[in-house]
Amino acid sequence: MRKPHACGANQWTIVRMGVDVRIRCDQCGRTVLMRRTQFIRAARGVEPSWEDANEEGDRNPRSR
């Protein structure tokens, strides 16, 4: 996100994506619900977690 959370953390986990996006602060656990358009403007970038990257590689047999 462009601005750090009030607790000082700048790392978030995406909990739910749809018309709205729910994100959770990795430091304090607080959740925030915002419109998807607002999230796209405020997000600096999305880094896939190690588990997500590993699962995607296992699901797609053509990636080998």
Round the average pLDDT of the chain to a whole number and report it: 79
Residue 51 included in any domain: no
Residue 61 included in any domain: no
Residue 4: per-residue pLDDT: 77
| Alpha helix (H) residue ranges in the chain | 36-42, 50-59
This prediction's pTM: 0.64
Residue 63 included in any domain: no
Residue 55 included in any domain: no
Place of tokens 């619900």: 33
Position 62 pLDDT exceeds 80: no
Domain of residue 31 covers: 1-46
Position 50 pLDDT exceeds 70: no
> Smallest Cα–Cα separation from 13: which of 23, 2, 1?
23
Residue 33: per-residue pLDDT: 94
Residue 9 contacts residue 25 (beta carbons within 8 Å): yes
Per the structure, the count of domains in the chain is 1
Residue 33 included in any domain: yes
Residue 60 included in any domain: no
Residue 44: per-residue pLDDT: 80
For 4-23, what is the mean pLDDT?
87
